Amino acid sequence: MLIRVTLAIHDSALRQRLLRRLARPDILVEVPRERKSLWERIVREPADVVIISRSLLPNPLADKMKQLQNHPDSPSVVVLSDSTDPKEHARLIAMGCDTLLFVGLAVDQVRDVIETLLEKRRRMTQKSFFVPQPLAEPRLADFVSESPGMATFMNTVPRVVRSDTTVLIEGETGVGKERLARAIHAEGPRSQGRFVALNCGALPESLMESELFGHVRGAFTGATAARRGWFEVAHRGTLFLDEVGEIPIHIQVKLLRVLQEHEIQPVGSEKSFGVDVRVIAASNRPLEIEVKAGRFRRDLFHRLNVVTITVPPLRVRAEDIPALIEKQIQYLAQATGKRVTGAAEAAMQALCRYPWPGNVREMNNVIERAILLCDDTEITLDDLPESIANSAAASPGAGPAPDSAPCIRLPEQWLAKPLRRVRAAFLSEMERQYVEGLLRATGGRVGRAATRAGIHARSLYEKMKQFGLHKEDFRRAGARET
């Protein structure tokens, strides 16, 4: 988190020495130029510590200090005085000043006192901006990746972790985008900083700019006190912008500037200041499609799209489902104190056959419910929701449902060709039928089809071009998403 210090000292030599002593990446020191409006600015704009010369204090001081202390996030006030009169010191402390220092002290002594106050203030500020964190941050090794698609996906992630660049995570709701973002943060170069998660889709449009960048007192109706934005809170850490596609266009412009200039300007403020934040954004809709629809700025998309990671949906990770279920059972059994060791064969088959439209999040909720209902050491069909238990209707060994795999009739002429050529033709035809089926199921909506396939929309467009498929044909056919 960024600690903000206002330094209002008329002694220029002392001011410069303190500036050098306080020069740290997590401290922003501001030196006001206008003395006439100095106190109004201190009241209006947020600061953690105000270091001020006695001669610059306003009159009547008691009323002015009360005005400052009425703020819920009022700063600590350090007064530098050339007086050694104990009565004067007691009077200033009684009026609300936190610390009184004699200017004749060595600069190092002054700095040490200020450092102690800054550390105290840092702890107070972190409590007031408490961000809930999981008991144990997820690690990349925690992700189950036995399926080929997930294994390939996880092989690319470590390269992203080691960098400090902006990352865009795409994937359906419930696939674990925030969990992946937390793992990237926990194993990356900013692991000692804060991870701040912000759901942009849950913020009212009228408050979104203030939530992101902060505001000064009086910036808008109801802004009775200055407030930090989440970019400032995440200073030297990671800011996770979930559902970034929900940010209104006019705020996207300001977000783009922050990503380019690494500076924020609070609402109502005339000045900007630097922040050091890694941004990881996420969307459950392909942003490239949103750009084409005019709902997302192309320049912001390119700025976020430095590295894009698409998390595969659970339905294309069949090999991962048993391991995910066992892992969740083990975790929740320990957390709840239940002696559940696994799932019975019929229950496991039902769980593996279910398509999981809500992905891993839905699976975790189902397993938690099953463990709470389970009276034995194994989860049974009776512990599962009816919709999932019914998916076990197919008897064991009956094989997959008829429509679970493409049916391709081999032409007689293929028997006269080498296996290598037949294999290539077979895979191409299977892929064509798969893409065609996806487009039919989604009514020609390329973004949704790409999300289902666990690939980028750009890749799907290339495959459509390869097979001569056009999204308009599927829309004209009146197809709708199933």
Q: Give the DSSP per-residue string, 265-294.
A: --BT-S--EE---EEEEEESS-HHHHHHTT
Q: What is the Cα–Cα distance from 13 to 18, expressed in whole angstroms?
A: 9
What are 8-28's pLDDT values in tens digits? 888 888 888 888 888 888 888
Averaged pLDDT, 400-418: 55
Indicate the fold that domain 147-312 takes in CATH. Rossmann fold (3.40.50)
Q: Over 90: is that where the pLDDT of 252 sits?
A: yes
DSSP one-letter code for 411: P
Q: Is the dihedral of CA 208, 203, 126, 42 positive or negative?
A: positive
Question: Dihedral, CA atoms, 229, 233, 238, 243, nearest 10 degrees?
Answer: -30
> Between the CA of residue 146 and those of 176, 323, 341, what are the distances in Å?
16, 8, 21
Question: By three-state DSSP, how is residue 147 classified?
Answer: coil
Question: By three-state DSSP, how is residue 88 classified?
Answer: helix
The C-alpha angle with vertex 70 and arms to 67 and 76, in degrees rounded to 5, equals 85
Band of the pLDDT at 476, cuts 50, 70, 90?
low
> Do residues 97 and 77 make contact, with C-beta atoms less than 8 angstroms apart?
yes
Averaged pLDDT, 108-115: 76
Q: How many CB atoms lie within 10 A of CB 412?
A: 7
Q: Which residue has the tokens 């890694």?
A: 278
Of the candidates 11, 48, 13, 43, the one whose C-alpha atom is nearest the C-alpha of residue 29 is 48
What are 367-397's pLDDT values in tens digits? 999 999 998 899 999 999 988 988 665 444 4
Q: Over 70: is that where the pLDDT of 347 sits?
A: yes
Q: What is the Cα–Cα distance from 35 to 31, expressed in whole angstroms?
A: 10
Q: Over 50: is that where the pLDDT of 120 sits?
A: yes
CATH of 3-128, one of 3.40.50.2300, 1.20.58.1610, 1.20.210.10, 3.40.640.10: 3.40.50.2300
Torsions phi, psi for 142 (to 5 deg):
-75, -15
Q: What is the Cα–Cα distance from 232 to 277, expressed in whole angstroms?
A: 8
Band of the pLDDT at 364, cuts 50, 70, 90?
very high
Q: Over 70: is that where the pLDDT of 117 sits?
A: yes
Q: What residues are paired with 196 via a beta bridge?
A: 239
> Do residues 443 and 476 make contact, with C-beta atoms less than 8 angstroms apart?
no
> Between the CA of residue 460 and those of 123, 414, 449, 451, 481, what are the distances in Å?
50, 28, 8, 10, 17
Q: Over 50: is that where the pLDDT of 201 sits?
A: yes
What are 49-99's pLDDT values in tens digits? 888 888 888 888 878 787 777 766 678 888 888 877 788 888 888 888 888
Band of the pLDDT at 125, cuts 50, 70, 90?
low
Is the domain defined by 412-476 classed in CATH 1.10.760?
no
> Do residues 292 and 471 make contact, with C-beta atoms less than 8 angstroms apart?
no
Check residue 106 and give its pLDDT.
Answer: 66
Check residue 480 and give its pLDDT.
Answer: 41
Check residue 406 and give its pLDDT.
Answer: 44
In the chain, the percentage of residues whose pLDDT exceeds 90 is 31
Check residue 401 and give its pLDDT.
Answer: 43
What are 421-460's pLDDT values in tens digits? 667 777 777 888 888 888 888 888 888 888 888 788 888 8
Q: Where are the beta strands (DSSP E) in 189-306?
A: 195-199, 238-242, 263-264, 273-274, 278-283
What are 179-198's pLDDT values in tens digits? 999 999 999 999 988 899 99
Check residue 403 and give its pLDDT.
Answer: 44
Band of the pLDDT at 411, cuts 50, 70, 90?
low
Number of H helices, E strands in the chain: 20, 14
Averaged pLDDT, 246-264: 94
Question: By three-state DSSP, how is residue 250 classified?
Answer: helix
Check residue 474 and give its pLDDT.
Answer: 79
In the chain, the percentage of residues whose pLDDT exceeds 70 is 88
Mean pLDDT of the chain: 83
Check residue 402 and give its pLDDT.
Answer: 41
Check residue 369 and give its pLDDT.
Answer: 94
Check residue 228 and give its pLDDT.
Answer: 84
Q: What is the Cα–Cα distance from 64 to 43, expressed in whole angstroms?
A: 9
Check residue 269 and give its pLDDT.
Answer: 86
Indicate the fold that domain 315-402 takes in CATH. Helicase, Ruva Protein; domain 3 (1.10.8)
The residue type of 38 is L
> Do residues 159 and 309 make contact, with C-beta atoms less than 8 angstroms apart?
no
Domain residue limits, the chain: 3-128, 147-312, 315-402, 412-476
309-333 burial, b for 16+ CB within 10 Å, e for fewer? bbbbbbebbebbbbebbbebbeebb
Check residue 396 and give its pLDDT.
Answer: 45
Q: What is the Cα–Cα distance from 173 to 285, expressed in whole angstroms?
A: 9
Tokens matching residue 254: 């300001």
Torsions phi, psi for 331 (to 5 deg):
-65, -50
Check residue 240 and give its pLDDT.
Answer: 96
What are 309-319's pLDDT values in tens digits? 999 999 888 88
Check residue 276 and give its pLDDT.
Answer: 94
Cis ω before 396 (30° cut-off from 0) = no
Cα atoms in the Cβ-side hemisphere of radius 13 Å centred on 87: 0
Band of the pLDDT at 419, cuts 50, 70, 90?
confident
Q: How many residues comprise the chain?
A: 482
> Do residues 472 and 444 make contact, with C-beta atoms less than 8 angstroms apart?
yes
Averaged pLDDT, 257-286: 92
Check residue 71 and give its pLDDT.
Answer: 67
Tokens matching residue 403: 């429509």
What are 25-42's pLDDT values in tens digits? 888 888 887 777 788 887
Q: How many CB atoms lie within 10 A of CB 25?
A: 10
Q: What is the Cα–Cα distance from 276 to 87, expressed in whole angstroms?
A: 44
